[in-house]
DNA sequence: ATAATACTTGAATGGTCATTCAAATAAATG
DNA sequence: CATTTATTTGAATGACCATTCAAGTATTAT
């Protein structure tokens, strides 16, 4: 017996960064070898193939985003304030120059073909879970009286997810901070008022 | 001398459909040959290379969308009603099963790399023009008294573009008509109220 | 210590792709 | 009609890529 020598999380984060920066298809095995330090054989040994590495990277991305999400909502501020901070964070990601400006869910979903039902299903499921977490927070805001109780928290969550996707996509062509901030603000207001 | 035998617009629409369905990178020259009936040499003769074909397809896509846009705003209904109809049309595109459910601007933009500044610039410009056309319509709605005059028509246009991108992206993972219609409705209301 | 097991290495393989090219063909011009 | 000029054809080219594999190596368990 023998355990893998590499740090699985580090390798997955390197891979996920490449997938976000260059896209899955244009990230070659030589690219992955260079970025991760792993030889092709090791990648195949650990992840079956390039597609398996993508799935593992998506899972890691989901785990990382989950932790991040929880952190934004673990303060003792009002839930709506937490949402605003969360949105501001996303805007700052959009205008950053590193890989975080692209969301792996979106890029992988747009790149996936009809043939790759597996990636599509995994990402849809991950998005649905994120949306549910948002819906739960909205419900919490309603029970705390921060949000009028006649709203549909699941609809609000869908609208926010839609808006965040819109922000991210809009930022791809027009990454101006002030404009994105205004858009995020109106998005927030559309939900709260 | 001699003119090309093929119908340029037809070829470009075939190519644009493939690019939307499979993505630019995964659309191979054999694919293009089969879909357009053009041999590789003809494509190179007419469009320089595959990348040139993409640029030409994007230009054709823009022209087609321009015509479409004008048609939605050439009725004698109130501008806001025209917007609602336009939005409904986009929702119906999102839930359709053909290539129209993906927008070539978005798919090509997400697929383009940092290296391909040309595609990025062309698409950004095309989006900006579309956004400006929307802004003009909002201004028109304000002068006609359909929309309160204290709004910023350019901001409204950006918000609508963002929302449409959000809708399209959201639909990629959750293409349920009723849900998308509700989202489109709230998007519309966020702008008008 | 030794055997068994699993990871690592990196060159080799086979396939696919964008692009080129030279020959063939057709239209337009004078 | 003849010449010129452009397009069409489709096979050939060269590059790149995902994947495989066999030999080497380290770790664990007995």
Please, which pLDDT band fits residue A10 given cuts at 50, 70 and 90? very high
The predicted model gives B51-77 an average pLDDT of: 98
CA dist A103 and A57 (Å) reads 12
Percent with pLDDT over 70 in chain A? 99
Q: Contact B170/A165, CB-based, under 8 Å?
A: yes
Residue with tokens 């702008």: B191
* B73-193 CATH pick, 1.10.357.10, 1.20.1300.10, 3.30.930.10, 1.20.1740.10: 1.10.357.10
pLDDT of B92 over the 80 cut: yes
Residue with tokens 């070898």: A33
What distance in Å separates residue A26's CA from the closest CA in chain B? Answer: 8
Domain boundaries in chain A?
Answer: 1-61, 73-192
Query: What pLDDT, on a 0 to 100 scale, did the predictor assign at position A5?
Result: 73
What distance in Å separates residue A86's CA from the closest CA in chain B? Answer: 18
Percent with pLDDT over 90 in chain A? 95
For every residue of A67-118, DSSP letters joined together read: HHHHHHT-SSS-HHHHHHHHHHHHHHHHHSSSGGGS-HHHHHHHH--TT-HH
Residues with CB under 7 A from strand D: A 1-3, 27-30, 40-41, 44, 49-51; B 1-6, 38-42, 45-46
* Alpha-carbon distances, residue B141 vs A134, A167, B70, B72, B148 (angstroms): 35, 25, 15, 14, 9
Contacts for A97 with CB less than 8 Å, ≥ 6 apart: none
> Do A1-61 and A73-192 fold alike per CATH?
no
Q: Is the CB of B37 under 7 A from strand C?
A: no
The pLDDT tens digits of the residues spanning B162-180 come to: 999 999 999 999 999 999 9
Where does B1-64 sit in CATH, by number?
1.10.10.60
* A1-61 CATH pick, 1.10.1040.10, 1.10.10.60, 3.30.210.10, 3.20.20.70: 1.10.10.60
Q: Contact B167/A163, CB-based, under 8 Å?
A: no
CA to C1' distance (Å), from A22 to C19? 23
């Amino acid at each position: 017996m023998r355990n893998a020598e590499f740090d699985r999380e580090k390798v997955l984060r390197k891979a996920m960064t490449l997938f976000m920066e260059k896209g899955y298809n244009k990230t070659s095995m030589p690219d992955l070898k260079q970025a991760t330090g792993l030889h092709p054989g090791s990648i195949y040994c650990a992840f079956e193939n390039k597609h398996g590495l993508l799935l593992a990277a998506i899972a890691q991305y989901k785990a990382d985003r989950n932790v991040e999400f929880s952190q934004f909502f673990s303060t003792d501020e009002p839930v709506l304030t937490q949402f605003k901070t969360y949105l501001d964070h996303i805007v700052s990601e959009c205008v950053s120059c590193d890989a975080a400006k692209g969301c792996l869910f979106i890029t992988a979903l747009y790149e996936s073909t009809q043939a790759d039902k597996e990636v599509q299903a995994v990402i849809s499921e991950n998005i649905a879970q994120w949306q549910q977490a948002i819906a739960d927070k909205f419900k919490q805001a309603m029970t705390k009286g921060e949000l009028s109780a006649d709203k549909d928290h699941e609809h609000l969550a869908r609208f926010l997810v839609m808006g965040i996707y819109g922000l991210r996509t809009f930022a791809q062509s027009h990454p101006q901070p002030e404009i994105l901030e205004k858009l995020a603000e109106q998005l927030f207001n559309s939900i709260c008022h």
